[in-house]
Structure 1
Amino acid sequence: MIRLALLRHGHTAWNREGRIQGRSDIALDAEAEVDLAALALPSPWDQAALWSSPLKRAARTAELVSGRKPQTSDALTEMNWGDWEGLHGTELRADPTSGFRDIEQWGWDYRPAGGESVSELRARLQGWVAGLQSDTVAVCHIGVMRVLLAQASGWNFDGPAPFAVKRGRLFVIEVTPESWTMWPDPVRLEKRP
């Protein structure tokens, strides 16, 4: 069995503005840098393999909470939101012709305009998880986390999610060749002394 702990990157200016980031390489904002520098991975996660998305916001989060540079994988890059990157979700939601849907209505085949489907994201993530050799922390994005946690919990993007992805917490999945199982409670990062 391998344990995979998922951590969402810190805030960016686009997060705070409600913009869809996707693959846009937006850095952490100054407040996130300060907040994350005050946190650390708890034991035993501080000794686990460390991976992140290659996007600045994830790689920098990993470095701040661990004190070391992560290995990066393109597989952990956020879902491609295509034509919607940089736009406000609230504006897309208000336009009935946009095709935008809330996550509870996605299904595995949902695809943002000009972007990547949820099932395509799942396929690249499953390949990455299959290559893990030891307990691992992966600092990534909310879309990546939702897909991995959906896989582990049996949620099919069809109604309210059985989890809420919050920052500053590790969401742990136990991975065996037969199944993925999500821990019921996330593990909080520790405050540095």
Structure 2
Amino acid sequence: MTRPRILFVRHGETDWNAEGRLQGQHDIPLNAVGREQADRVGTTLARLVPGIGDLDFVASPLGRTRETMERLRAVIGLAPEAYGLDERLKEITFGSWEGLTWPEVRARDAAAASERERRKWDYVPPGGESYAMLLERVRPAIDALTRETVLVSHGGVARVLLAMLCNVSPRQAAGLDIWQGRVLVIADGHFTWE
């Protein structure tokens, strides 16, 4: 099955990103760096895709993704609020670990943190979800795409897309860096960063 190209944008930086805190589905706003990153992505998208206004635009409903989408659309010259939202594109939830840094998680529950490192793709944190579970949540949203789409979401969602669409092994996908302020282009089973 041929899929439309996805221009994936991870939301811009938040203070929790800068502090290394697990955000998950907590609704943390962009910081000044994140707003600059969102603007820069708008410039990149306009350069990459002539006629970008003809594409579909879809975002996770969390505030940091909505602000990223609205800022990049404004830079492109499009109506900032004219895009779709999809609940299935929310970030992976880390359950009771959200708000903590990895050193704090390891200090509170070293055994669970070690188990997650060994089985990062399948491990379910207390009250959270695994990447495998996230993939099953995200798959129907991606399968529903019918046109080339700018998709603004989260690092965990990018990782499952790379596993699902680009034959990246789950183990490798779970550990990949997902950049803010850049565009991840996913097309024909391959990916590149712009």
> Do these two structures clear the TM 0.5 threshold for a shared fold by scoring above it?
yes
Query: What's the CA shift for 1:106?
Result: 3.2
Q: List aligned pairs for 1:15-94, cutoff 5 A.
A: 15-40=17-42, 41-42=45-46, 43-44=48-49, 46-47=52-53, 48-67=55-74, 68-69=80-81, 70-94=83-107
Query: Alignment identity in percent?
Result: 34
Runs of 4+ in structure 1 off by over 6 angstroms are none
Query: What's the CA shift for 1:119?
Result: 1.5
Of 164, 171, 189, the match for 1:151: 164
Aligned residues: 181
Q: Tell me how far apart the structure 2 counterparts of residues 108 and 38 of structure 1 sit (CA, whole Å).
A: 31
Unaligned runs of 5+ in 2: 75-79
Query: 1:155/1:105 Cα in 2 relative to 1: closer, same or farther (>3 Å)?
Result: farther
Contact 1:107 1:156 in 2 (8 A): no
- Report the TM-score when normalising by structure 2: 0.81
Of 163, 178, 190, the match for 1:182: 190
Residue 3 of structure 1 corresponds to which residue in structure 2?
5
Q: List aligned pairs for 1:164-175, cutoff 5 A.
A: 164-174=177-187
Contact 1:105 1:157 in 2 (8 A): no
Contact 2:115 2:123 in 1 (8 A): no
Query: 1:44/1:16 Cα in 2 relative to 1: closer, same or farther (>3 Å)?
Result: same
Unaligned runs of 5+ in 1: 176-180, 188-193
SS at match of 1:127: helix
More helix by share: 2
Q: Tell me how far apart the structure 2 counterparts of residues 55 and 160 of structure 1 sit (CA, whole Å).
A: 23
Q: Tell me how far apart the structure 2 counterparts of residues 11 and 140 of structure 1 sit (CA, whole Å).
A: 12
Query: What's the CA shift for 1:93?
Result: 3.4
- 1:55 partner amino acid: L
- Report the TM-score when normalising by structure 1: 0.82
Query: 1:103/1:141 Cα in 2 relative to 1: closer, same or farther (>3 Å)?
Result: farther
- 2:177 partner amino acid: A
Query: What's the CA shift for 1:111?
Result: 1.0
Range moving further from structure 2, 85-94 or 8-17: 85-94
Q: Tell me how far apart the structure 1 counterparts of residues 134 and 103 of structure 2 sit (CA, whole Å).
A: 23
More strand by share: 1
Superposed CA RMSD in Å reads 2.5
- 1:93 partner amino acid: R
